[in-house]
Structure formats: C-alpha cells, structure tokens
Structure 1
Amino acid sequence: MAKIKVYSGKYPKRIGDYIVYPLGDELIVRQKSGFTTKGLLTSPKYALCRQNASEFGLVSTTCKAIRGVLTDFLTKHNNLLVVNALTKKMRSLLVYDETHPRGARLLQTAFASNAAQQAILGYFFNPDCRLTVTVVAGNVSISVPEDLLNATGIYLGCSVLYLFFDFETLTGHLETSTWQMEKLHPAISFGVPDAIPDGCWLRLVAISFFSETDGEWLPILPEEKGLVVL
C-alpha cells in the first residue's frame, strides 16, 4: 500500500494493476485484490464464503420469525443486541446438524438432536438483563440486583411460555400461563409445571417488573425484561 502525497485535478481510479481510493484526507494506492462478484459466486477459493452466506441468510430469516412470535415478551431496549445475539446463538447450533453438508445445514435438523436441545437451555434473550435466573427441580430462582431491592411498589412477574414453531413455514404460536407476582426480595422463586404440551419446541420463562396501580399491573423497567429458555 502506498499514498499519493501531492496531486492536482481529478485523480485516476486505476494505475496499471493498482487502484486508487480516498481514505480521509489521503489518497491510497494498493494492488487490486482480484475479488469480483462473479468470483464470489463461482470461484472455489470463495466456497466457504458462499456456504456461510447461505446458512447465515436462512438462520437470520428464521430468527426474525421466532422473534416475531415472541415479540410481546422481548425487550425493545437495545434491540440490535437482542437480534445479533440470537442469530449468533442459532448459528452456533448448526454444528449439531450432522445430516447435511456445510452450507446446507438446517436448524430443524440440528434441533432433532438432544445435544442442540441441551445447548440452548438457559439462553437469555436479553443479554443486558441484570437478573440471574436458575432452574432447579421445577423451580425458577431469580436473583434481583441490590439497587432495585430498595425501590417501593415494585413487583416481579413470571410467566411460563410454550413456543410452537414450524421451521418449514416459519410460523408459530405461543401458549402462556398467567403471570405470578412476587414482592421484591433478594431471592425469588416461582414454580414451573412439569408437563410440556405435545408439539412444543421451546419452553421459556418470561420475567418482567410491574407496578400496581388501582388494581392494575403496569409493566415497568423494560431494560430489565427477561426471557429465558427452560
């Protein structure tokens, strides 16, 4: 790579086998990489790029559909982080599809394995949430940050969700339990039903803070809204 220190008029975009482009207040000269759109589509050396792009596209579309079904229980706070984290998690699970070759691996095939099902347990849809959630013997235990414990009139709600999702049509629906409410204290515990409906793909627990006004529960602290895979 080189730099053009002095020039006048319109600079050339190419000089022999080199290209010229502006970077800040400088003109940079570097050798052509040989990268072309046609090469990306056909060249053997870009095979891995094509495989990654194919899988990434389908995973991204699938994750968008999943988020659409869960939208009422997902935080809108720092949405980009929620989107990227889920896509990254789902892409990592493609390794459990041992049926299809790289570039054609499918999430539905991966989730047919017990290993993938175990790997998603405990996944938190809100990476920014400060609540600590653990599940032991059918009980969901939640640790609340100390700065929230001194607040008055705040309750923590918990609801169990059953996600039914069709990977072929990218459609799904939820079955939900009623919200259980608890006054804040350092360690809160909720019971979770043992039975899981037939056809349920994921069982999750939704966690949200509420205030009570005239007998009505109003959600608050959206940045602390949590959704965890059980």
Structure 2
Amino acid sequence: MRLFRTTTILMVALAAAAACSAPAGDHPGDWCTDVIAALTSERQRWYDYDKTHGGENDDLTWRLTRPDPPATAEQIGAAERRLEKRFDRQLRQWLEHANGWPVVFGTISLFSTEQLAKDSPEREIFVEMLEETGTTTDDFGVRSFDDLILIGTNNIQTRFVLTVGCEDNGDCDSAPVWEFNGETTKFLSLRDYLTTRVEQMKKLKRSP
C-alpha cells in the first residue's frame, strides 16, 4: 500500500512538472502574449529612436502606453450581449489579455469591451464615411454593415479597425479584420492583423 501511494504521488508530481514546462504555444491565447511582448519592444525602440533623433525635448510617452488589464468573462459576455454577436475565439483571447490598448499602432487605439457598442460616436462617424465614400457591403464581403464590429480607430476617426462575429452566434476560431480609411484592407484574422502591424513597425524604422 505504501509503495502504491508513493508511486501515485510521484506520478502526480511528474505530471505537474510536465504541465509547468509545457511549451508556451500549447496554451490557448499565448499568441497574444507574444504579440504584446513584440509590440512593447517595438514601441520602446521607436521611443528610443525618436528621443535620440530630434525628439529630446518632446513628450513621447504616448509611445509607451501599455495594454489595459485583461477583461473578465463577464465584461466580454456583456459586450457580446450589447452587440448581439458572438466574438470569435481570437478576439476573446485578445480581450482576455488586453481589454483595450490606447494608441497602440501610431495613433490607432484598440477598444475595450466597454467601448464596443452599436451606437458609439465613433461608429456614427464610420457610417458617415461609408456614405461619403460610396463604400458598399461588397467591399467588406458582408451582408449588412450591421454585421461589422468596430474594435478600434485612430485619434481623429479617419481610420477604423473592424471585424465580424461568428455566424449564427455560434463558436468560431477566427474572423476577418479590416482597416478602413475610405478604402478597405482585409486581414485573415485578428492575429494576422496584429502580427502584420508588428512586422510593419519593424521595417519602417531600423535602429542605426
């Protein structure tokens, strides 16, 4: 009996150790951690570069904004009910890591769950731009503009970041993301959008 108990304890300990040492990629949402780390590093590099290339006297602390604390399941659920849409898994994972991020790409901010709404001032401006530019649902490949979820915008509301919910409010791994500034640029998913933007940041400025 003592041997059995000792063996059982040893097996439990080994299993726990294996779980703790599992590769980061084995855990859902770890791509968010990687993106946040890459973004933080690039933003610091941009800040350091600008401070040493003519920005010594400028307040550039906005380049160092950090993501807001993770959203709770209740906050995500409330946003879904408010929008009457089920978020794809990648958007949920992102919100579970960063419930909003001010001026994350240049002057673009990603929204928190509290900012996700059908009738926000930013969405009204977005709808006006759709009308002014003659943009149609075909440009996004959606049945209705009501299908689009506004998840971010720049500081003067001339560039918008949008996605869609899962079909029939079911579960889905990912959904397309668009940037719109009078023209639409499509990304396969939120992860694709974020990682693409990080790579663009890396190419735009190189440290000397």
TM-score range, shorter chain: under 0.3
Q: TM-score under structure 2 normalisation?
A: 0.26
Query: Which structure: larger Rg?
Result: 1
Q: TM-score under structure 1 normalisation?
A: 0.24
Q: Which has the higher strand share?
A: 1
